[in-house]
Amino acid sequence: MSGAVLEARGVAAGYHGHPIVHDLTVEVRAGQVVVLLGPNGAGKTTTLLTLSGDLPQLAGEVWFDGTATKTPLHRRANDGLSFVTEERSVFMRLSVIENLRVGRIDIERALDLFPELRPLLKRRAGLLSGGEQQMLTLARALARTPKVLLIDELSLGLAPLVVLRLLEAVKKAAHEDGVGVLLVEQHVKQALKVADHVLVMQRGRVVLDGPTEQVASRVEELEEAYLSAQAGERTA
């Protein structure tokens, strides 16, 4: 086994026995941000669901913290995995402080990570901006001091400055606290600024895999591929 805290080896994943992701090999090491890019429908979310244990793999092996595992999400969460899904996981009727308490986390640590939340503690989460909701979601995930953090479309619908703030927090968690991060992100240029390693998926397969410095030179090519692929989906 390598030094990875999370690894997929030859994994196939999908729904009702039909694979969407094929022969997936991914490695995430402690202190490393791995960014997973690709057009809509490439299999990125299915990949995260499978690695988290929320979706059983159809073939291959998933290794978590040095051990091959088929345990469900709640077991992996207890063992140090945090998963930030595409849907912001805040309780809209509860206040910010109540959301933090429900998470059973170190509240002061969460607020140190995102001081922007301190003046909002008594505000209902449903009244927060989208960016503030995502800060609350990420604060709860990081305050658990996870070994592995999976994030699906952190920046969805958010302003660029908010995206930068969130991604900097992710980078800090990896490089200063040793968290292994696998991040699905739509903002290619911003994601590459925090990435140590990059994977690109198309049609359920990894088609590009390399260190950020190698992939960064192909940013325009990558973005063009995304736009053309997504335009094709809209017109199909």
Domain ranges within the chain, ordered by starting residue = 4-87+152-235
Integer Rg of the chain from CA: 17
Residues 155-184, mean pLDDT to the nearest whole number: 94
> pTM here?
0.90
Per-residue pLDDT tens digits for 151-161: 999 888 889 89
Whether residue 233 has pLDDT greater than 70: no
Residue 234 has pLDDT above 50, yes or no: no
Classify domain 4-87+152-235 by CATH architecture: 3-Layer(aba) Sandwich (3.40)
Residue in the structure block whose two tokens are 């960014």:
35
Closest Cα to residue 170, out of 194, 147, 140, 186? Answer: 194
Residue-averaged pLDDT of the chain: 90
- Give the per-residue pLDDT at 226: 60
Residue 189 pLDDT: 85
Q: Is 38 helix (H, G, I), strand (E, B) or coil?
A: coil
- Residues sharing a CB contact under 8 Å with residue 206, sequence separation 6 or more, in sequence order: 24, 25, 26, 199, 200
Q: Is residue 235 over pLDDT 70?
A: no
| Confidence class for position 16, pLDDT limits 50, 70, 90 | very high
Residues 13-29: what's their mean pLDDT? 96
pLDDT tens digits along 210-226: 999 988 777 777 777 66
Looking at residue 60, its pLDDT comes to: 97
Tens-digit pLDDT profile for residues 84-142: 998 778 999 999 999 999 988 999 999 999 999 999 999 999 999 999 999 999 999 99
